[in-house]
Amino acid sequence: MTTLTQAISALDTLREFLLANETSDDRQEAVKEVSELFKQKPKIRIRSATTTEVNKATGKTFYWKPLRDYCRANSLDIDQVEINGLDVNDYPHEAWLHVYDINLDTLFLA
């Protein structure tokens, strides 16, 4: 999830820059391309999220152990992402859906 958040943030920043500086045909074309990508962002599927990201988004506390146990029982890979210099487990969409009935797409893209 963190990578998606960073990508969307970068896309927002680029779009704002291009809109503020649209003086040439090249920049106007770039604005159109970025705007099209920006419109497509809700179509992106969230594949995973950390417990911290979901806790912040919902205001509730979700524990990592049931997610880890589900992933182990179903042979799902748990990715690690670096946040503030620490490696944090990034649990797959399927685990969140089955363990906590949380649809990451609905939570983060709604």
- Say whether both 39 and 58 belong to one domain: no
In the prediction, which pLDDT does 44 show? 57
Distance, in Å, from the CA atom of 95 to the CA atom of 81, rounded to the nearest integer, reads 17
Owning domain of residue 75: 48-109
- Say whether both 39 and 66 belong to one domain: no
pTM over 0.85: no
Domain count, the chain: 2
pLDDT tens, residue by residue, 2-38: 556 666 666 677 767 766 665 666 667 776 776 776 6
pLDDT tens, residue by residue, 40-84: 655 556 789 999 999 999 999 999 999 999 999 999 999 998 888
- Say whether both 37 and 58 belong to one domain: no
- Say whether both 102 and 53 belong to one domain: yes
53 near 100, Cβ under 8 Å? Answer: no
**How big is the CA angle at 50 (ends 45 and 52), to the nearest 5 degrees?**
125
In the prediction, which pLDDT does 108 show? 80
Please state at what angle helix 2-20 crosses helix 25-40, rounded to 10 degrees: 150
Q: In sequence order, which residues have a C-beta less than 8 Å from that of residue 96 and are 6 or more positions away? A: 49, 54, 67, 102, 103, 104
